[in-house]
């Protein structure tokens, strides 16, 4: 299974920061999962929540700040013993860095609460600027955003994100809309869903997996990727399983 670092190495470092992304690479992750939103001046930034309250020392909505205003807030307030300050990165800053690595990227388009104008187009333009077309995939809870991505970058894999409730006929659904992947929460995946995805050739990447029992179950199901807050733990487990099979 591919080890996908959820918002970077978010179990030990401030999520969706360049520090968390670099630490994920050092930990042996194959891929980084991150979230993109738009600022007031239409800059694509990397942050999970529509509001900055939870992860920074500021308050309010991302969309109500210009990037010059937004970058002054500290995105590392939840990890005071790890680092003093981390800014909210732009997606372009991330791409400039990741283009120098072997990592692939799972880009979650955050259009569930606000449908940011042209966020898909702006994100794809940056991906193209750094030659990352073959090193990215896209996911979203708003599947209309994935349909738009397919119009802009047909060759990019897309993964339909679902909540813990899951989708009973996920394989058929993803196949019907041209999505190559299904991204359920761990609680929303069953033997039946796995079988339906296999029937239609749909890859399964599961979030957010942070326990050994869950890892073992994903291996039993033959899932393609594990989205985790602890990529170093998952990498160590994967290497152990590889040795066990020799």
User: Active-site residue numbers?
Assistant: 6, 48
Cα gap 90→62, rounded to integer Å = 12
Cα gap 124→156, rounded to integer Å = 10
Cα gap 141→55, rounded to integer Å = 21
* Residues 6+ away with beta carbon under 8 Å from 62: 37, 38, 39, 45, 47, 49, 50, 51, 52, 70
Cα gap 193→172, rounded to integer Å = 10
Cα gap 189→163, rounded to integer Å = 10
């Amino acid at each position: 299974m591919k080890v996908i670092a959820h918002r970077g190495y978010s179990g030990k470092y401030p999520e969706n920061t360049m520090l968390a992304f670099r630490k994920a690479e050092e930990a042996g992750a194959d891929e980084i999962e991150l979230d993109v939103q738009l600022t007031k001046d239409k800059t694509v930034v990397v942050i999970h929540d529509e509001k900055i309250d939870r992860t920074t020392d500021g308050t309010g909505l991302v969309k109500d700040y210009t990037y010059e205003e937004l970058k002054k807030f500290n995105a590392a307030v939840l990890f005071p013993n790890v680092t003093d300050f981390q800014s909210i990165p732009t997606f372009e800053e991330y791409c400039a860095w990741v283009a120098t690595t072997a990592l692939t990227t799972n880009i979650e388009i955050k259009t569930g609460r606000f449908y940011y104008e042209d966020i898909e187009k702006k994100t794809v333009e940056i991906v193209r600027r750094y030659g990352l077309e073959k090193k990215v995939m896209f996911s979203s809870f708003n599947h209309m955003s994935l349909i738009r991505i397919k119009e802009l970058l047909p060759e990019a894999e897309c993964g339909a994100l679902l909540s813990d409730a899951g989708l009973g006929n996920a394989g058929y659904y993803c196949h019907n809309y041209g999505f190559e992947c299904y991204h359920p929460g761990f609680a929303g995946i069953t033997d039946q869903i796995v079988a339906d995805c296999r029937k239609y050739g749909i890859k399964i990447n599961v979030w957010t997996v942070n326990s050994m029992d869950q890892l073992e179950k994903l291996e039993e199901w033959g899932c393609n990727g594990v989205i985790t807050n602890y990529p170093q733990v998952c990498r160590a487990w994967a290497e152990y399983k590889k040795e066990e099979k020799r």
